[in-house]
Structure 1
């Protein structure tokens, strides 16, 4: 069923497809690169986001424009639909009228996954979803 949140997700996937020059799922890719969103998010988390960019784009666009498109793509494809931006927020960021969003360095686990029967296997506490600082929450909501 189509909704504003699913449309934003689709916009994010298309943005990443354009920026990366690849399909959302590539069964011929190496391990860890099969799912485009996870691959790009991992590169974002280690500070190497532009390694995911299609090298052909650098002839037409500068690195900052490509980086903005990719970060907005990740923001729009956030696993939690409630943390996806509005199209107005997207436009402001892509037009350099608003700062880039603060997104988690690791791709969050969707909140709607069932945790019944989950048994931790390590001493690390299990967390899901994301935590957003109060300032970034206020900042992103100001563009709605």
Structure 2
């Protein structure tokens, strides 16, 4: 992609691109230094700091702010294409900066991206992206939904060493939803001081954004309104999410089952655990 628009982005929740180096087969971007590294370290590795719910909720809202800016507020819509915990960076005060624009694509707000090259990370790839290879703001919204579940549950999107029922995070949380006990999916490391209504909101919103049908997902500006309490989730959310009951296989299986002209998977969850 043309890197010049990325270098012009200015938002408090986006890393600044300071420079780049383009080789024959790779693009290396240089960002601001982020002393606390990536979010996945705090979710999955043993650190002195265990993120509390207020910190996690702010992280989710800040990523939603960044995506709203990229999708709807910049001169051209920018599709990130690789939303995940390891691309959410934290500064010295744990402020969020969304990074890694190596897969990003710029499009006019009125046109589609013309590509058949599937890119992203296993576990975050929307079913229609696995089939068509065409990234859209809705495929970013799908990845954001998985990210919401990841942060709230403290679980990776794909856990290949568990049972089939528990392997795919979206399906696992969905099963709790259908049993009427969605809060049971929350990260057990969260203490009793967490706000149950916010945790429930994030879990339900994660399922809504990861709807198996692209048209069922909200735009990021709408997501932001839900997170800020400026709008309520749809009253028919139960029926809306239940429409996924026939999904059968999640996006992980879609990648394995559909043939695509080309495929780029970053940090494959199936083989590296990230």
Contact 1:11–1:73, Cα closer than 8 Å, also in 2: yes
- Normalising by structure 2, report the TM-score: 0.38
In structure 2, relative to structure 1, the CA distance for the partners of 1:106 and 1:44 (3 Å cut) is farther
Q: How many residues get paired?
A: 110
1:92 matches 2:229: no
Structure-to-structure mapping, 1:120-139, within 5 angstroms = none
In structure 2, relative to structure 1, the CA distance for the partners of 1:60 and 1:28 (3 Å cut) is farther
Match of 1:41 in 2: 174
1:6 matches 2:143: no
SS of residue matched to 2:223: helix
RMSD: 1.7
Q: Distance in 2 between matches of 1:7 and 1:68?
A: 19
Q: Distance in 2 between matches of 1:55 and 1:45?
A: 20
Select the structure that is richer in strand: 2
In structure 2, relative to structure 1, the CA distance for the partners of 1:92 and 1:58 (3 Å cut) is farther
In structure 2, relative to structure 1, the CA distance for the partners of 1:40 and 1:62 (3 Å cut) is same
Match of 2:244 in 1: 107
Structure 2: runs of 5+ lacking an equivalent: 1-133, 248-274
Q: Distance in 2 between matches of 1:106 and 1:41?
A: 11
SS of residue matched to 1:56: coil
1:18 matches 2:155: no
Contact 1:12–1:77, Cα closer than 8 Å, also in 2: yes
Contact 2:208–2:241, Cα closer than 8 Å, also in 1: no
C-alpha displacement of 1:60:
5.7
Match of 1:32 in 2: 165
Contact 1:42–1:105, Cα closer than 8 Å, also in 2: no
1:69 matches 2:202: yes
State which structure, 1 or 2, has the greater radius of gyration over its C-alpha atoms: 2
Contact 2:211–2:241, Cα closer than 8 Å, also in 1: no
Question: After superposition, what is the alpha-carbon deviation per residue over 1:33-62, rounded to whole angstroms, capped at 9, x for unaligned?
Answer: 111111101111111101110022345631
Greater relative contact order (Cα < 8 A, sep 6+): 1
Which 10-residue stretch deviates more, 96-105 or 81-90?
96-105
In structure 2, relative to structure 1, the CA distance for the partners of 1:106 and 1:41 (3 Å cut) is farther
